[in-house]
């Protein structure tokens, strides 16, 4: 008896399916025709865009550790590269940069003024990309850098930073009214490629907890470490100050003539 009742119920459900389908189609068609009525506007509700939380909210927003997402076939994808700044909020856009080893043109050793100065390495590519790789003390927001006492007693964590050169100039020249000199390095093609490889390897390695030191583990000493790995030239400099490093490299014949940027010749482009 139970099986007969089940059969009859399923039979009636089967018979009613076309009616349900027709009703659903009629509703859909009616709704479509409503949308097509002339003069009637429909609103598009955008999906909510997730707000990206700052990874290091207590630290300075112009520096953070970068990553190399891939390196295959001579093409690299770098992540957490610093780009343009929001002047009102004084925050930056951090994103990806794709570079090709074969497109590498020049390698520059750089100097930025202010305080004791600052050294960095810059790479330019045929596609127009210009990438700065630098070491900085990782300061808290609003904290003033003390190169002598705090900078030599382990107060600051060391951070490698990857920055587009446009962003670097906008901050140094546009925001801080400093000047920047970049010197093309007199290197072979193989040495330039090794400089790029060594710089990216250093900038994306795990250096968590490593302390910055103005004299022994600084912007200058790490730039020279990359230079030594690429060329085999281990330079001994008594005073590890950025301006002294530039003078020493020039004296040894490793640098060409500087390209100079300041407020008189840089217009934000």
Residue 262 has what DSSP assignment?
Answer: -
- 149-152 contacts, C-beta under 8 A, 24 or more apart: 151/212, 151/213, 151/214, 151/218, 152/213, 152/214, 152/215
pLDDT of residue 28: 37
**Alpha carbon distance 223, 251 (integer Å):** 17
Q: Yes or no: say if 129 and 105 are a contact pair by the CB < 8 Å rule.
A: no
pLDDT of residue 14: 41
Q: What is the pLDDT along the chain (269 residues), one digit of tens a residue?
A: 444 444 444 444 444 444 333 333 333 343 333 334 444 333 344 444 444 556 788 888 899 999 999 999 999 999 999 999 998 888 899 999 999 999 999 999 999 998 889 999 999 999 999 999 999 999 998 888 898 899 999 999 999 999 999 999 999 999 999 999 999 999 999 999 999 999 999 999 998 889 999 999 999 999 999 999 999 999 888 778 999 999 999 999 999 999 999 999 987 75
Q: b/e for 22-43, b at 16 or more Cβ within 10 A?
A: eeeeeeeeeeeeeeeeeeeeee
pLDDT of residue 269: 56
Q: Smallest Cα–Cα separation from 221: which of 120, 153, 148?
A: 120
Domain boundaries, the chain: 67-261
Q: b/e for 49-61, b at 16 or more Cβ within 10 A?
A: eeeeeeeeeebbb
**Alpha carbon distance 237, 258 (integer Å):** 21
pLDDT of residue 11: 42
Cα 83 → chain centroid? 7
pLDDT of residue 89: 83
Phi and psi for 135 in degrees, rounded to 5? Answer: -110, 140
Q: Measured between alpha carbons, how far is residue 70 from residues 8, 98, 165, 176 in Å?
A: 63, 10, 22, 34
Token code pair at residue 147: 């190169």
Coil, strand or helix: which one is 236? coil
pLDDT of residue 238: 75
For the segment 63-107, what is each residue's pLDDT rounded down to a tens digit? Answer: 999 999 999 999 999 999 999 999 888 889 999 999 999 999 999
Q: Measured between alpha carbons, how far is residue 192 from residues 104, 113, 131, 197, 229 in Å?
A: 8, 25, 14, 9, 11
């Amino acid at each position: 008896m139970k099986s007969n009742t089940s059969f009859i119920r399923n039979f009636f459900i089967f018979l009613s399916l076309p009616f349900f389908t027709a009703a659903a189609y009629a509703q859909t068609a009616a709704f479509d025709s409503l949308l097509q009525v002339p003069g009637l506007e429909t609103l598009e509700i955008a999906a909510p865009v997730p707000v990206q939380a700052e990874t290091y909210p207590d630290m300075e927003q112009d520096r953070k550790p970068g990553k190399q997402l891939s390196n295959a076939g001579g093409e690299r994808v770098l992540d957490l590269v610093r780009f343009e700044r929001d002047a009102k909020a004084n925050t930056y856009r951090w994103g990806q940069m794709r570079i090709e080893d074969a497109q590498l043109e020049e390698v520059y050793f750089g100097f930025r003024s202010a305080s004791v100065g600052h050294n960095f390495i810059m790479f330019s590519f045929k596609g127009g990309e210009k990438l700065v790789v630098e070491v900085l003390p990782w300061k808290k927001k609003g904290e003033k850098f003390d190169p002598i006492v705090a900078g030599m007693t382990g107060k600051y964590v060391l951070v490698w930073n990857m920055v587009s050169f446009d962003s670097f100039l906008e901050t140094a020249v546009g925001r801080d009214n400093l000047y920047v000199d970049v010197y093309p390095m007199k290197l072979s093609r193989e040495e330039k490629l090794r400089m790029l490889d060594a710089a990216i390897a250093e900038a994306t390695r795990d250096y968590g907890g490593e302390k910055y030191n103005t004299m022994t583990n600084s912007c200058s000493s790490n730039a020279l470490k990359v230079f030594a790995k690429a060329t085999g030239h281990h330079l001994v400099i008594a005073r590890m100050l950025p301006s002294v490093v530039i003078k020493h490299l020039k004296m040894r014949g490793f640098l060409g003539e500087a390209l100079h940027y300041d407020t008189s010749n840089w217009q934000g482009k």
